[in-house]
Amino acid sequence: MKQPLTTELLVMAYSNGWFPMSESRGDDQINWYQPKVRGIIPLDGFRMSKNVMRLIRRGGYEVTVDRSFERVMRLCAERDETWISDEIIRAYTQLQKDGYAHSVEIWRNDELIGGLYGVSLRKAFFGESMFHKEPEMDKVALWHCHDLLLKGGYTLWDTQFYTEHLGRFGCIEIGHKAYMKHLKSALSR
């Protein structure tokens, strides 16, 4: 019998360096991961392209937090290949209602044009996924997320894996032992 993803299970898993993924949108099987090498964005090492910074300075959009969490998740899952299954959407929507998951939304004329979501435990933020309907609006959401993490005194920004794409924003790889040390410190604050 498959164990359902509950808030308690997810909080315990993230607190111990684990996170769930599915193989596809329609997959009801949950796989657990604890990578030997982890991607993180050091909060003091975050960077953004000049092009995106011009968009941010220009404005013309609205930023909200947790206004449309489930919709952000569903838009993140709208791609050819995704690990965000319906079960994960259900579980993380509950996790958000319980105060442990958050979304950053970018709106223009009442249309959701970009956003991201992740899990927050004490001073650790675990970025899960982002999307855009207009060019670069996922990156605008990422910049605003960074700003919120700084203001909130966060010390760990986990991206789970390193990718070249995330490397553009300052993402680095660290080993499991170093990651667990960062995690323990962030959870003790």
Q: What is the pLDDT of residues 102-116, one digit of tens each?
A: 999 999 999 999 999
The predicted structure's pLDDT at residue 1: 46
How do strand 111-121 and strand 124-132 relate by DSSP bridges?
A: antiparallel
The predicted structure's pLDDT at residue 24: 86
Q: What is the pLDDT of residues 58-83, one digit of tens each?
A: 999 999 999 999 999 999 999 988 99
Indicate if the pLDDT at residue 169 is higher than 60: yes
The predicted structure's pLDDT at residue 80: 87
17-to-21, 50, 58, 157 alpha-carbon distances in Å: 14, 34, 38, 13
Q: What is the pLDDT of residues 114-161, one digit of tens each?
A: 999 999 999 999 999 999 999 999 999 999 999 999 999 999 999 999
Which residues lie closer than 8 Å to 30 by C-beta, 6 or more apart?
2, 5, 20, 21, 22, 85, 87, 88
Domain residue spans of the chain: 7-187
* CA torsion, ordered 171, 173, 174, 180, to nearest 10 deg: 60
Domain 7-187 sits in CATH 3.40.630.70: yes
Do residues 120 and 100 touch, judged by C-beta distance below 8 A? Answer: yes
Q: What whole-number percentage of the chain has pLDDT above 70?
A: 99
Q: What is the pLDDT of residues 26-57, one digit of tens each?
A: 888 899 999 999 999 999 999 999 999 999 99
Indicate if the pLDDT at residue 3 is higher than 80: no
